[in-house]
Structure formats: structure tokens, C-alpha cells
Amino acid sequence: MKIYTNEKLVKRNSRIGQIASILSLLILAAGMFYSFKDTTGAYVSLTFGALVVGFLLFQFGNYYLSRWGKSPRPDELLSAALKGLDNTYTIYHYSTPIFHLLVGQSGCFALLPYNQAGKIFYDTQRKRWRQVGGNAFLKFFGNEGLGRPDLEAQYTQADLAKYVQKLGLDPAPLTENVILVFTNAKTDVDLDNAPSLATTGEKLKDYLRKKAKENPIPADWIDEFRSKLPQENK
């Protein structure tokens, strides 16, 4: 399998996360310093503002670091899960509007990685994915919450169609091309009742081969799409 990663973007976003995290700690420290020093209440608004800004900046920095600064990153986890596929497959990390785009001999897939811990399942009554367990501290401070994978899959499918159309191709062959990939090997994932394509990192390769056979995309469409993707033109 061929792997193309936008290393410049990874390094830039990692740097942003580092700077934001350091600034947040400095601002929080300044806020705490003035809160202890202020005995008259003259700096209440200043200390409160510093604590709020520092906390928000900390969350922002942690968001960037968790995706681009901490190894294994989402792209590294996906590449590891795909190891062993032949060279008819190419994965593009952060190189297109779709962060993780996999193009194969008969398939085109947008991969959405989730590395959350605990038990994950689709709640048919609430009509949304749920995460039970995991580290509560990391959920709050490390942006480890599961979010809404169902909605993210819908938006990514639309983004993929728009990108294909922007390249001058007919998006008609694209029907269901977004796969949720749960990459944490220790997570208990129940995929029953999942409303969209979903699998684990361990089973990703077999899942891809199966889906490509069930709903193949014409080879000439794949070839034209490949020719328009940035890294393969170099």
C-alpha cells in the first residue's frame, strides 16, 4: 500500500498545539498568581478572564496535540491497520479535503478514525453512538469524547461528493463510502445496528475488500480520480 501524508500540515498543527498549550499554562499561572495576590478584589475581572481564556486555550492546544502532536496519531493508527494491502491501494492523509482518503482498485473510501476507550455501541432508541466508560478526566481535558460519528459520516460523504465534483468527475458512483474505524484495540465495540459503515482497526482490511467487491466502482473512474489527486501527480 502506498501512503501519502501531508507532513507539513502535521508539523504545523503540532506546533500550533504546543504553542497554544504553553501559552494557556502561562495565562492560567498568571491568573492564579493575581487571584492569590488580590486581597481587595480589584483584579477579580482580570483573574477570572485569565482563567477562562487560559482554559479555552488549553482545550484548543490539547485538541491539536491529540490529533497531530501525540504518537500514534490517527493517520499512523490507520496506516498500521491497513498494513499488508497491496500497491493497488493508496491512502492520503491530510492531503485532500477528506483527511483520510483511501483509493483502491475498485473502491474509494473516507476513513473516520476513533480511538476512544470503553464500550461503544449504537443506541437505536436515542439514534446516536454512545460511549460508556473510558477515562473521564481525558474526556473533559483531552477531547476524548466520542461526539456524533453518525453525523460526521453524513457530512464527510457530502464533502467527498463535493470534492469529486470539484475535480470534474461525476459523483454518481459514490453511494456509501465513509467508514467509521474504531482503532483502540482495548475498546469493546458493538457494531450491531450501526446505521453507517463501521468496523474496527483489526478487521479493517477484510472489511474494505468485502465492501469493494459488494459495490465496486468502475476502474476507469478510479483511474481518472487517481490522476487528479495531488500526490500521485508528483
Mind listing the pLDDT tens digit for each residue in 21-39? 999 999 998 888 877 776 6
Domain range for 92 is: 74-233
> Average pLDDT over the chain, rounded to whole?
88
Same domain? For 65 and 79 the reply is no
Q: Tell me which H or E stretch contains 78.
A: helix 74-82
Dihedrals phi, psi of 194, to nearest 5 degrees? -60, 130
pLDDT band with cut points at 50, 70 and 90 for residue 230: confident
Q: What is the mean pLDDT of residues 54-79?
A: 91
Q: What is the pLDDT of residues 128-145, one digit of tens each?
A: 999 987 655 555 555 567
Same domain? For 40 and 97 the reply is no
CA distances from 86 to 14, 82, 178, 218, 223 (A): 30, 10, 21, 19, 16
Same domain? For 36 and 101 the reply is no
Q: What is the pLDDT of residues 138-181, one digit of tens each?
A: 555 555 678 899 999 999 999 999 999 999 999 999 989 999 99
Number of domain units in the chain: 2
pLDDT band with cut points at 50, 70 and 90 for residue 12: very high
The residue among 69, 92, 111 that closes a domain is 69
Same domain? For 63 and 127 the reply is no
Same domain? For 190 and 79 the reply is yes
Same domain? For 202 and 132 the reply is yes
Question: For residue 195, what are the β-bridge partners?
Answer: none
Same domain? For 61 and 80 the reply is no
The residue among 18, 50, 69 that closes a domain is 69
Same domain? For 95 and 186 the reply is yes
Predicted local confidence at residue 31, as pLDDT: 83
pLDDT band with cut points at 50, 70 and 90 for residue 113: very high
Say yes or no to pLDDT of 233 above 50: no
Q: How many CB atoms lie within 10 A of CB 130?
A: 13
Predicted local confidence at residue 234, as pLDDT: 45
Same domain? For 46 and 156 the reply is no
Q: What is the mean pLDDT of residues 107-127?
A: 92
pLDDT band with cut points at 50, 70 and 90 for residue 214: confident
Q: What is the pLDDT of residues 189-203, one digit of tens each?
A: 999 888 889 999 999
Predicted local confidence at residue 136, as pLDDT: 56
| Omega of the bond leading into 72 within 30 degrees of 0 (cis) | yes
Same domain? For 57 and 128 the reply is no
Is 132 within 8 Å of 145 (Cβ atoms)?
A: no
Same domain? For 57 and 6 the reply is yes
The residue among 27, 42, 69 that closes a domain is 69
Predicted local confidence at residue 137, as pLDDT: 52
**Range picked from 10-14, 60-64, 185-189 for highest mean pLDDT:** 10-14
Same domain? For 88 and 64 the reply is no
